[in-house]
Amino acid sequence: MPRLKIMSLEESVRHEEQERMSAEIFRQKKARYLFDPSSKIPFRLSRSRLENFLSCPRCFYLDRRLGIEPPGMPAFTLNSAVDELLKKEFDIYRRMKKAHPLMERFGVRAIPWAHPLLEEWRQPFKGISYHHPSLNVVLYGAVDDLWVDEERTAMVVDYKATCSQGPVSLEGPYRQAYKRQMEVYQWLLRRQGFVVSETGYFVYCNGNKSLAQFDSRLEFSIEIIPYHGRDSWVEEALSQALACLTKDSLPNSSPDCGYCHYRQRAHSKEEESTPEPEAGSRSSSELSIIVQKGRMEAYRYQFGVGHKKRTPPLAREAAQQRELF
């Protein structure tokens, strides 16, 4: 069995200081993305955070105003790999200034757009952005691809990967968010002064799981699905999202928010099952503070100039409390 390394008191104090500094750096970085009603700096809001507002105003407020993010999801690395490979493939035809065979097969009369800012528009924390002057908000989002026809009309393209037994469609509750995603990109492009087609395209890759064996590869059927976007809702949603963040009280939860349902039910059960503390007892947080203070005091006594090497009271109490953990 591997031996457990016991840190010395000096190492423990140094480790705690490093953790504190790391937490402070993280807090400062995170604060840059939080909304401050008194700030004159334009507030940056990503397309995905605007979608979070539409899903649940309370979770959005907790995240962008108070800094409490909902639990994260595992990264969809296979989907990201499909996205990356599709970008490389369409980039070959972009350099050739020719239509991809898929575009010809599905009757899309366009070619991949070789715009000089495309790589920047694809980057997650840059993307296409627009500063709304009256709201003082910068809305941004990263596109997968852009196509252009002979009249120089831009078309928004989004890559999607799934594994469905039936035919792929844009129906279903969560796929409505896909439609809004494309409409935000169309809205952003129009604010850049481009002529943008109301029709965008989803390049949908559907994995085949009916094969006899894996054989170290995945096979996909790929189709291009057109979607007629309507971006008239975007500006009003942006205004409502800002109004939500400006308030000093929590907004209502969405009736369909799974996170809020979980928190409410968990809080109710915790209140029912939490025992009353015994008279004179200390909470776990209080005991933790005693241990930390004791370590710091012991460190100062042991290594500080002019101090006698003796065990201070708080260090003695901390040593006793550590035995309880």
Q: Is residue 232 part of a domain?
A: yes
Spatial distance between the Cα atoms of 243 and 249, rounded to a whole number of angstroms: 11
- Regarding whether 224 and 121 lie in a shared domain, the answer is yes
Instruction: Tell me whether residue 131 is in a domain.
Output: yes
* Pair 83, 133 in one domain: yes
The most confident of the ranges 165-174, 185-194, 266-275 is: 185-194
Q: Summarize the confidence of residues 9-15 as an average pLDDT.
A: 69
In a 3-state reduction of DSSP, which class is residue 238? helix
* Domain range enclosing 290: 284-322
Going by DSSP bridges, is the β-strand pair 111-112/154-162 parallel, antiparallel, or unpaired?
unpaired
Instruction: Look at residue 228 and give its three-state secondary structure.
Output: strand
Asked if residues 255 and 196 have their Cβ atoms less than 8 Å apart, the reply is: no
* Same domain (yes/no): 242, 100: yes
CA dist 170 and 218 (Å) reads 23
Token couple for 118: 């495309």
CA angle 34, 137, 234 (to 5 degrees): 115
How many domains in the chain? 2
CB 154 within 8 A of CB 148: yes
Residues 299-306 have a mean pLDDT of 46
In a domain, 51, yes or no: no
Residues 99 and 227 in one domain: yes
On whether both 233 and 105 belong to a single domain, the answer is: yes
Band of residue 324 on the pLDDT scale cut at 50, 70, 90:
very low
Residues 127 and 227 in one domain: yes
Q: Which of 16-20, 147-151, 168-172 has the highest mean pLDDT?
A: 147-151
User: Span 163-183, mean pLDDT?
Assistant: 91
pLDDT single digits (tens) 92-107: 999 999 999 999 999 9
Question: Would 64 be classed as within a structural domain?
Answer: no
Whether 39 maps to a domain, the answer reads no
Q: What is the mean pLDDT of the chain?
A: 84
Domain co-membership, 295 together with 176: no
Strands (DSSP E) along the chain, which ranges? 43-46, 111-112, 128-132, 137-141, 145-148, 154-162, 199-207, 220-228
pLDDT at 121: 98
Residues 154 and 293 in one domain: no
- 69 is a domain residue: no
293 and 233: one domain?
A: no
Whether residues 298 and 205 share a domain: the answer is no
| Residue 119 falls inside a structural domain | yes
Q: How far is the C-alpha of 292 from the C-alpha of 237, rounded, in Å?
A: 47
| Residue 164 and residue 305 in one domain | no
Residues 6+ apart with CB under 8 A from 280: none
176-206 pLDDT, tens digit per residue, is: 999 999 999 999 999 999 999 999 999 999 9
Judge whether 270 lies within some domain: no
Same domain, 175 and 288: no
